[in-house]
Amino acid sequence: MGIAERKIRQKEEVKSAILETAWQLVKKEGWQQLSIRKIADAIEYSVPVIYDHFENKEAILFEIGKHGFQLLSKKMQQAKDKFTDPAEQLKAMADAYWNFAFKNKEYYQLMFGLGMPCCEIEKNMPEKSYFRNLVMGSIDEIIKKNKVPVTNACLKYHTFWSVIHGLISIKMMRGADTTDDLNKLVLDDAVAGIIKNLER
Amino acid sequence: MGIAERKIRQKEEVKSAILETAWQLVKKEGWQQLSIRKIADAIEYSVPVIYDHFENKEAILFEIGKHGFQLLSKKMQQAKDKFTDPAEQLKAMADAYWNFAFKNKEYYQLMFGLGMPCCEIEKNMPEKSYFRNLVMGSIDEIIKKNKVPVTNACLKYHTFWSVIHGLISIKMMRGADTTDDLNKLVLDDAVAGIIKNLER
DNA sequence: TATATTTGCTAACGGTGTTAGGAAAAAACA
DNA sequence: TGTTTTTTCCTAACACCGTTAGCAAATATA
């Protein structure tokens, strides 16, 4: 009896069509222009069908946000794997994070609520701890190498992340009032500062 | 002929009633719940009257955002004035910025587009350069004291701001999953790191 | 074939920002 | 003072939005 399976498969196809269409629309017109009706139009179903697959609009955003966190984690992992020296790893991960943010502006905006109605995406997102562990691993390693390993790794992780996120969100919000070059310099400078402050 | 003056005065009163009411509503219910109709209701005028004073909703938000930037500038100025040592000034300004953000959460969200439909507030906001100058003044002083004053002040300013903004926006977005104590520690740690990196 | 179930639609509800057009009040002019 | 012009301000609508009730058609089950 493959009928049930086909039905499940078809249902799954509609569900991923919703997600894919929503994502295409967002890339074309931005988050503020995304509406349930536009998605329904694009997948050639009526509006209530959307609600057979998602409880509400926020559930769609959450699912897309999850993809974002998974993609970010993957990029971070790949960056880290290129090096064995933890300081190099941190630099590479900062770069990867930066690149992810600007190559996937819409993902980043959704994931961290930049310029869009907040949807509590980042909370209730288990995937974010994956990337947290990646960074903290390298930080821990550096600290262990120290002669006076008193530094708080958790605190340093927060600093690391805050610098990068702060830089990105400032640049992302006000567009092109500073050059790309300067921003990349600031990133490198800040990351270098943190690492330097870590090794002692 | 004081009639014209009275009219202008009355018109100005309605305008500031709109702003004041909007601000009260936002503090009570948050940005997402603010609507033109609610404002109109509260000031006991009909909806189109709002549009006699503001081109659109965004113009209202912009005006409130301006107040936010002015208040922030004032707080930063006061903090800076308490010290003569530029390093102390930087620390005090970082603290002032931090306190402003959490004592005026709604202002901060609006000013930097956190968790709300973006409204291009920060661009086209001349007031923000005031606070920029305050910070860069202190940074310049520190750099001038150095024996090798090669460091780029503009770059350091961006780093300084990014760290603080990043920390604040991360904390503001995900509420209480880290303690206040830790966050304040991270702030102090990060600012100390920047200053240390500056003095050489 | 008859019944039960799933599927997907139309149409609505209550909300949003925004605006056209007209009534009433105020001011200016005679 | 009476008339005309201007200003003020409201009702009602438009075109959207997220969401859901309720029903018809298609499908699966017996």
Q: What is the pLDDT of residues A44-60, one digit of tens each?
A: 999 999 999 999 999 99
Within 13 Å, how many C-alpha atoms sit on residue A160's CB side? 31
Beta bridge partners of B114: A114
Other C-beta atoms closer than 10 Å to the C-beta of B45 total 16
Closest residue (Cα, C1') to D20: A48
Q: Which amino acid is at B194?
A: I
**Residue A95 Cα distances to A159, A196, B197, angstroms:** 16, 17, 21
In chain A, % of residues over pLDDT 90? 58
CB < 8 Å to A185, chain B? 152, 155
pLDDT of residue A15: 96
CATH 1.10.357.10 boundaries in chain B: 61-199
Q: Any residues with CB less than 8 A from the CB of A190 and at least 6 apart, and which?
A: A163, A164, A167, B159, B162, B163
pLDDT tens figures, A117-133: 877 788 788 888 888 99
CA dist A9 to A50, B40, B80, Å? Answer: 16, 50, 64
Name the residue of chain B whose CA is nearest to A162's CA. B166
| Per-residue model confidence (pLDDT) at position B180 | 67
Q: Which residues in chain B have Cβ-Cβ distances shorter than 8 Å to A193? A: 159, 193-194, 197
Burial class (CB in 10 A: 0-12, 13-18, 19+), A66: middle
- Which is more confidently placed, A197 or B19? B19
Burial class (CB in 10 A: 0-12, 13-18, 19+), A156: buried
- Mean pLDDT over the full length of chain A: 89
> If interface means Cβ-Cβ distance under 8 Å, which residues of chain A face chain B?
32, 112-118, 122-123, 152, 154-156, 158-159, 161-167, 169-170, 173-175, 177-178, 182-183, 185-186, 189-190, 193-194, 196-197
Specify which residues A114 forms β-bridges with: B114
Confidence of residue A176 (pLDDT cuts 50, 70, 90): low
Inter-residue contact A91 to B142 (CB < 8 Å): no
- Identify from B154, B186, B187, B188 which residue to disrupt to test chain A contact, counting A C-beta atoms within 10 A and taking the largest count: B186
How many Cβ atoms are within 10 Å of B144's Cβ, its own excluded? 10
Q: Sign of the C-alpha dihedral, residues B172, B173, B176, B181? A: negative
Closest to A163 measured CA to CA, from B154, B168, B95? B168
Taking a C-beta distance cutoff of 8 angstroms, is the pair B84, B142 a contact?
A: no
One CATH from 1.10.10.10, 3.40.309.10, 1.10.10.60, 3.30.70.2200 for A1-54 = 1.10.10.60
Q: How far apart are CA B13 and CA B9, in angstroms?
A: 6
Residues of chain A with CATH 1.10.10.60: 1-54
Helices (H) and strands (E) in chain A, counts: 9, 0
Which of A93, A185, A175 shows the shortest CA–CA distance to A137? A93
CATH superfamily of A61-199: Tetracycline Repressor, domain 2 (1.10.357.10)
Q: What is the mean pLDDT of residues B85-103?
A: 95
CA distance A82 to A86: 11
- Overall average pLDDT of the B85-110 stretch: 95
Question: Would you say the C-alpha torsion A87, A186, B167, A23 has a positive or negative sign?
Answer: negative
- Residues of chain B with Cβ-Cβ distance to A167 below 8 Å are 158-159, 162, 166
Of B125, B158, B131, B140, residue with least CA distance to B86: B140
DSSP-H helix ranges across B30-46: 36-43
- For the stretch A76-133, pLDDT in tens is 999 999 999 999 999 999 999 999 999 999 999 999 999 898 777 887 888 888 889 9
Q: What is the pTM of this model?
A: 0.92
The pLDDT score that the predictor gives to residue A152 is: 80
Residue among B173, B177, B191 with most chain A CBs within 10 A, to mutate: B173
Instruction: Please give the residue that has the higher pLDDT: either B60 or B191.
Output: B60
pLDDT one-digit tens code per residue, A20-52 = 999 999 999 999 999 999 999 999 999 999 999
Dihedral angle over CA of B80, B83, B86, B88, nearest 10: -90
Q: What is the pLDDT of residue A198?
A: 79
pLDDT score of B25 more than 90: yes
State yes or no: pLDDT of B150 exceeds 80: no
Is residue A1 predicted with pLDDT exceeding 60?
A: no
Compute and round to an integer the Cα radius of gyration of chain B: 20
> Which residue is listed with tokens 């090669």?
B150
Give yes or no for residue B179 having a pLDDT over 70.
Answer: no
